[in-house]
Structure formats: structure tokens, C-alpha cells
Amino acid sequence: MRVFASAPGKITLFGEHAVVYGEPAITYTIDKRVHVHLKVRGDSTIKIEARGLQVGGAKLVISGEKIEAEVDAQSLMESLSYVHKALEIASEYCGESKGVEILVESELPVGAGLGTSAAVSAATIAAFCRAMEKELSLEELARLAHRVEIEVQGSASPMDTMTVTYGGLLYIKPAERSFERLEWGSLPVVVGFTPRESNTGKLVAGVRRLVEREEDLIMEIIRTIGKLVDRAREALEEENLEMVGSLMNVNHGLLEALGVSTVKLNEMVYAARAAGALGAKLTGAGGGGCMVALCPGREEEVKASLRAVGGIPLECTFSSRGVEVRVVG
Ligand code: MEV
């Protein structure tokens, strides 16, 4: 049987990192997706291949105890470990372990902070469960994909996996593992990309070390981010884009205080603001990766300003489509 599943990339508008400590966040799914093609084999061998934007490919073959890997890019190898773990967790859920061939194709730069690891995990689980003809609710899918992120990264909030599973503009309540949908069409945002210098697991661990060292001080910053998310929600509901932008700037400053920004991300954020963005911040775990600028009527100027400092503007718009899966033969 052949199954095709896909899941969207996402932007965190507000609240990354603080969400790991139970604070709310606001996320937004985009039209660029991760595609997973799965074919059930007649033996127990697992073959996983990934092709990413601008970075070549990576291949992993697991046959009994034997593991062979061919990699052009480390970020793709990391993405294969999410697929591998997702297959393990999905097999356990289905009570069946079968050999499969998986091809992952991403329309997004892998590991850029746009939720590709969550998308890869959710789409792989959805594809495997459909191939095994096992019922899977969205709630269960989000829960299993979250387990994949925890096991691969060491620690993760349910934000990314919940967002890519359901799709939309979401106000995430991590403590309750739930969300509320916010009503809005497409926000006029531009996303800028710069290669990643670190990965999510290391960045989350870095913030954890700060919390352990200076708990009172750092938890104050984290709680302030949570309050800011609630103000941002009100501003979005009031369609007050000026306020949304200004809160993005504050959120970026607080993320910098948590040590997750980089010189290149800061340059892109400042360039976008100078080009007329109402607000700009890093998005996702940081350490390089992506920033997002809110820039109604100034999209082209902001893209040019990002290029001028060596950033890569990514074309993406809002899409409320979450995980999709279908049998193709
Ligand atoms: C990563 O996309 C977002 C973080 O908040 C980590 C998490 O929520 O698990 C940095």
C-alpha cells in the first residue's frame, strides 16, 4: 500500500521558549508543507530518504541491526531521526511493525524554526497509521507527534505538533494541551531565513540552564512573555496591527535576553524595522533560522532589506490546512 501525508510549516508569532514553561503562545500555519510518501514493504527493512530545500539529500537504511546513512546535510540527518522515531512510536500505537520506504520532501528549509520537525513527525505517524488502517484522531496524532519531539530533542512543548496537526491561527494553552482558534485571514508578514547555528534541543537546554542559574530573574522574563502573548491576542482580536507589531519587538527583546538570538537574526530584525515593518522578531527556537516581520504595504521593501544583510526572504502565506493523509494506491 502507498500513502501520502503532508503537514504545514508554522510561524510562532509570540511565545516561543516561554511555552516550554507553560506560558501561552500564538502560532500560525503557512502554505509551505512537508510531504511524506510511504510505501509498505514485504520485509522488515526501513528505508528513509529526505530531500530538502537547497541542501541536497540524506538517506537512512535500517535492516535488522544494520544501519547505513548517506548524508549531504546535517540538518537533514536530524530530520531523519524524527522520521525514524515517529515510525517507532506509530508502530507501537498500531501494534504492528512493518518495513516501509519513506520519502520526505520539504518545501521549507529543514530545521529553520518553521516547525519542520513537528510536520515531519506528524505526517509520518499519520501516513503509517493510515497504511496500517488504524483509527487515529487529531488529538491522538498531536499527542504521538509530541512524544517524538520529546524523545528526539529531550524536551519540547506541545506547541509545534499541535499547530501543524490542526492548522490555523492558534492561541496555544500548553498546560491544558489545548488551543483556541483566533479568527483572522492572512497576516501581512514576511519571513527571513539564515542558516541555523544550533538546534532546538540545544537552545531549549540553554534556556533551561539560565533558569537553573538565575531562577527568579529568568522566570520573570518567561512570565512577562506569557503576559505579552495575552496582550497580543487582544491586539489581534481588535485588529490593531500597530500594537501587534510593537509587541513583536518587545518579544524579540525578551528572546534576546534568553540568549537565543544571533547577530544575523538581529541584523535581519533591525533591517526589517528600518524598512518600515511595524514589528519584527525571531521565530522558533532561534540560534539562526527564521525571523518574521509584520509589514503591511511594505513587503517588497522588507524583503529587499533582508537580502541587503544577507538574509533569504521566504515566500509564504497563511494556510489553515493541518495534517492531510490519503491512500494513493
Ligand atoms: C521551537 O519551535 C519552539 C520552542 O518553544 C520549543 C518548544 O516549544 O518545544 C523553542
pLDDT digits (tens, 9 = 90+) for 286-325: 999 999 999 999 999 999 999 999 999 998 899 999 999 9
Same domain, 160 and 201: no
Interval between CA 158 and ligand 1 midpoint (Å): 8
Query: What pLDDT is recorded for position 53?
Result: 52
Same domain, 89 and 74: yes
| Domain membership of residue 250 as a residue range | 189-314
Same domain, 171 and 258: no
Domain count for the chain, please give it: 2
* Other Cβ atoms closer than 10 A to 206: 17
Mean pLDDT of 234-254: 97
Task: Write down the residue that cell numbers 505538533 correspond to.
Answer: 161
Residue 71 reports pLDDT greater than 70: no
Interval between CA 135 and ligand 1 midpoint (Å): 28
Residues recognised as catalytic: 160
Contact 8, 33 (CB under 8 A): yes
Residue 64 reports pLDDT greater than 80: no
Query: What pLDDT is recorded for position 274?
Result: 98
Same domain, 106 and 163: yes
Q: Is the CB of 284 under 6 A from ligand 1?
A: yes
CATH number assigned to the domain comprising residue 304: 3.30.70.890
Same domain, 8 and 86: yes
Q: What is the mean pLDDT of the chain?
A: 93
* Segment holding 204, helix H or strand E: helix 200-213
Mean pLDDT of 222-250: 97
Residue 203 reports pLDDT greater than 60: yes
Residue 123 reports pLDDT greater than 80: yes
Residue 117 CA, closest ligand 1 atom number: 2
Q: Is the CB of 23 under 6 A from ligand 1?
A: no
Same domain, 163 and 67: yes
Residue 6 reports pLDDT greater than 90: yes
Interval between CA 283 and ligand 1 midpoint (Å): 10
For 22, 122, 190, 212, 272, the CA distances from 301, given in Å and listed in that order, are: 37, 36, 10, 42, 8
pTM given for the model: 0.94
Query: What pLDDT is recorded for position 315?
Result: 86
Contact 162, 177 (CB under 8 A): yes
Same domain, 139 and 242: no
Residue 39 reports pLDDT greater than 90: yes
For 16, 18, 47, 166, 319, the CA distances from 323, given in Å and listed in that order, are: 22, 25, 22, 7, 12
* pLDDT band (50, 70, 90) for residue 79: confident
Taking the C-alpha atoms of residue 303 and residue 220, their distance in angstroms, rounded to an integer, is 34
Grid cell for residue 97: 511493525
Mean pLDDT of 159-182: 97
Residue to mutate, 170, 200, 252, 260, ligand 1, most ligand atoms under 8 Å from C-beta? 200
